[in-house]
Chain A
Amino acid sequence: MTAPPDDCLARNEWICGAYLTTRRHILLDAVLQHLRLTGLAVLIGLALAVPLAVLARRWGWAAGPVLGVTTILYTIPSLAMFSLLLPLYGLSATLVVAGLVLYSLTLLVRNILAGLRAVPEETRQAARGMGYGPVRLLLAVELPLALPAAMAGLRIAAVSAVSLVTVGAIVGFGGLGNLIYTGMNTYFKAQVLTASVLCVLIAVAADLLLLGVQHLITPWTRDGGR
């Protein structure tokens, strides 16, 4: 038998170059899966949250139930959420995305609704006086003015989705969570640390990206306002 290799993997060091080189493709795949799951969940969440928030704004009576239901969804522990959705979606990436979408709804609906409610009544009156119909009022006046609050919600939703994806590891679709999970089972220090650091980097990058987007699409909030 050949002598056992004595490298940083065998010594179980926290920072290990050999880990990075031998697991390059695995790490890349995990990061891509992580990004895909997070991105899909946030986009679908947004596509659902905007109409829900608009409905809740139009009909006051709908606001209570919409906010109530989405908040209750948010309180379900993530392990239980995935287990509850399992009979519906089976073991699939869809299961994880569906769970994350439900979680993102609370943050998104609440913030978009807050943004819509913050549009001053005088502004809406002025738009109506200029002949804006309800659709044009919504698209050209209310939604743009709600953007800062909505973007704040989107940033929180994105960052929390990045961390929640990891729980998907229980069904094999957890992005970097798959690596953290197996690493914890075997005290694999380099794997746990590397995957966790990548997770944090993704969260920071997502937040900065959305901050940049917000900066671009809300030019009126810059240079001290007008």
Chain B
Amino acid sequence: MRRGPAPPRRRPRAGAAGALPLAAVLLLPAACSTGPSLENRGRVTAPPGDSRHLTVGSAGFTESDLLAQMYALLLNQAGYHTSLITVANRELYEPALESGQIDIVPEYAATLADWLNAKENGPGAPPAGSPDLGTTMSALRRLAAPRGLTVLDPGRAVDQNAFAVSRDYARQHHLRTLGDVGAAGLKVRLAAGDECVQRPYCAPGLRRTYGIDVTGVDPKGVGTTPAKQAVQSGRDQMVLTTTTDATLDDFGLVLLTDDRHLQNADYVVPVANRARAGGPGVARALDPLGRVLTTADLAFLNEKVDSRRRLPADVARTYLRQKGLLK
């Protein structure tokens, strides 16, 4: 099978430079940084609502599109009218979610917790997300509630940073987890984004948590085709990518388990505007998806859209039908 290069994934990582830093800067004065303003107070303290027409937001990258499509299909089935809107990034859609212009978006628990935390307490605040899902969820709900946002229950799927090595390399050194790499005392050159040098989840974390001897970071980007090729050819030994990357097989790469939980709990979680979509109806419609959709499913669906270029709406509908979630 011939195939084009695997596309780079746009990911809503906390702290990563946004697609529109300028827009973010300009929005700062408009965005309320200390909780709801007085005129919003009533809305924020309003009881959970159940509006019949809901706007589902997507952050414009494939996985977000797919999840938004699935949410819309499930909400339609539950009797809601839905429309979809695609917005460039969180700086744009989160305020719209607070104001009720968008009613529900697919989010990542730890990343959103950190983002809201930075918005509330400034960029220097200690991180709110953690490797533990329970801790992350309670931090997230604590930060989201005063903004009039309801965080639904997290599903099984996790989209977090992950490290992969070539299959031959793993076999040769008996590697299945990141702990194995540290124990084997291997010298590892890492293909990743250049910010990996400083980020706690990346090179510093690999050294401290796993005792891995990271000799250097090859700045080829997170999960890009050149990064994977560098590991495939043996120029680098390990690559930073994400758990929903379905193209690893094409490059003969395997993921190593994060056995000491270096990565934050970026579980997929729907976040809703409480006054419009915080009622039990929306949760009843979306919860079954969270219980069914796995990380591997999400990777498989991403690949259908990114590499085979199927329509996200069709891919989402087919998946929900196969799983019996959609009639």
In the complex, what distance in Å separates the CA atom of A139 from the CA atom of B94?
50
B4 at interface (Cβ–Cβ under 8 A)?
A: yes
The stretch of A76-84, A202-210, A214-222 in contact with B is: A76-84
From B26, B60, B309, A188 is in contact (CB under 8 Å) with B309
Do A11 and B2 have beta carbons less than 8 Å apart? yes
Complex contacts, B86 vs chain A, CB 8 Å: 169, 172, 178, 182
A4 at interface (Cβ–Cβ under 8 A)?
A: yes
A86 at interface (Cβ–Cβ under 8 A)?
A: yes
Complex contacts, A83 vs chain B, CB 8 Å: 20, 22-23, 26-27, 92
Do A170 and B307 have beta carbons less than 8 Å apart? no
In the complex, what distance in Å separates the CA atom of A5 from the CA atom of B39?
54
A126 at interface (Cβ–Cβ under 8 A)?
A: no
B327 at interface (Cβ–Cβ under 8 A)?
A: no
Complex contacts, A170 vs chain B, CB 8 Å: 20, 23, 87-88, 92
Within 8 A of B (CB), among A1-49: 4-6, 9-12, 19, 22-23, 26
Do A90 and B308 have beta carbons less than 8 Å apart? no
Complex contacts, B27 vs chain A, CB 8 Å: 83, 86
B5 at interface (Cβ–Cβ under 8 A)?
A: yes
Contact A86 to B30, CB < 8 A, known contacts A6-B2, A10-B307, A185-B61: yes
**Nearest CB in chain A to that of B2: its residue:** A11
Overall SS of chain A's interface: helix
B316 at interface (Cβ–Cβ under 8 A)?
A: no
Complex contacts, A23 vs chain B, CB 8 Å: 311
B245 at interface (Cβ–Cβ under 8 A)?
A: no
Do A79 and B1 have beta carbons less than 8 Å apart? no
Complex contacts, B116 vs chain A, CB 8 Å: none
Contact A11 to B311, CB < 8 A, known contacts A79-B20, A90-B101, A186-B305: no
Complex contacts, B145 vs chain A, CB 8 Å: none
Complex contacts, B130 vs chain A, CB 8 Å: none
B102 at interface (Cβ–Cβ under 8 A)?
A: yes
Do B4 and A11 have beta carbons less than 8 Å apart? yes
Do A10 and B3 have beta carbons less than 8 Å apart? yes
Contact A187 to B88, CB < 8 A, known contacts A4-B1, A5-B308, A80-B22: no
Do A186 and B23 have beta carbons less than 8 Å apart? no
A87 at interface (Cβ–Cβ under 8 A)?
A: yes
Do B22 and A79 have beta carbons less than 8 Å apart? yes
Complex contacts, B7 vs chain A, CB 8 Å: 185-187
Do B5 and A187 have beta carbons less than 8 Å apart? yes
A91 at interface (Cβ–Cβ under 8 A)?
A: yes
Do B60 and A12 have beta carbons less than 8 Å apart? no
B99 at interface (Cβ–Cβ under 8 A)?
A: yes
Complex contacts, B167 vs chain A, CB 8 Å: none
Contact A4 to B308, CB < 8 A, known contacts A91-B92, A172-B86: yes
Give A76 Cβ to nearest chain B Cβ, in Å.
10
Do A80 and B26 have beta carbons less than 8 Å apart? yes
Complex contacts, A19 vs chain B, CB 8 Å: 309
Do A11 and B22 have beta carbons less than 8 Å apart? no
B266 at interface (Cβ–Cβ under 8 A)?
A: no
Contact A187 to B4, CB < 8 A, known contacts A86-B30, A182-B60: yes
Do B87 and A171 have beta carbons less than 8 Å apart? yes
**Nearest CB in chain A to that of B23: its residue:** A83
Do A9 and B85 have beta carbons less than 8 Å apart? no
In the complex, what distance in Å separates the CA atom of A185 from the CA atom of B306?
9
Within 8 A of A (CB), among B19-34: 20, 22-23, 26-27, 30
A103 at interface (Cβ–Cβ under 8 A)?
A: no
**Nearest CB in chain A to that of B10: its residue:** A185
In the complex, what distance in Å separates the CA atom of A87 from the CA atom of B95?
9
Give A160 Cβ to nearest chain B Cβ, in Å.
21
Complex contacts, B23 vs chain A, CB 8 Å: 79-80, 82-83, 170
In the complex, what distance in Å separates the CA atom of A178 from the CA atom of B92?
15
Q: Mark B47-87, 1 if CB is under 8 A from A, else 0.
A: 00000000000001110010000000000000000000111
Give A10 Cβ to nearest chain B Cβ, in Å.
5
**Nearest CB in chain B to that of A84: its residue:** B26
Do B306 and A186 have beta carbons less than 8 Å apart? yes
B96 at interface (Cβ–Cβ under 8 A)?
A: yes
In the complex, what distance in Å separates the CA atom of A137 from the CA atom of B86?
50
Q: Mark B112-142, 1 if CB is under 8 A from A, else 0.
A: 0000000000000000000000000000000
Starting from the known contacts A11-B4, A185-B10, 6 additional A-B residue pairs (CB-CB under 8 Å) come to A6-B1, A91-B92, A169-B86, A172-B87, A185-B62, A186-B7
For the complex of A and B, the 7 pairs showing the least CB-CB separation, nearest first, are A12-B4, A170-B88, A83-B23, A87-B30, A9-B309, A172-B85, A186-B7
Q: What would be 23 A-B contacts, judged by CB atoms less than 8 Å apart? A: A9-B309, A11-B2, A11-B3, A12-B3, A19-B309, A79-B20, A79-B22, A82-B23, A83-B23, A86-B30, A91-B87, A91-B102, A92-B101, A170-B20, A171-B92, A172-B86, A181-B60, A181-B88, A185-B7, A186-B7, A186-B305, A186-B306, A187-B5
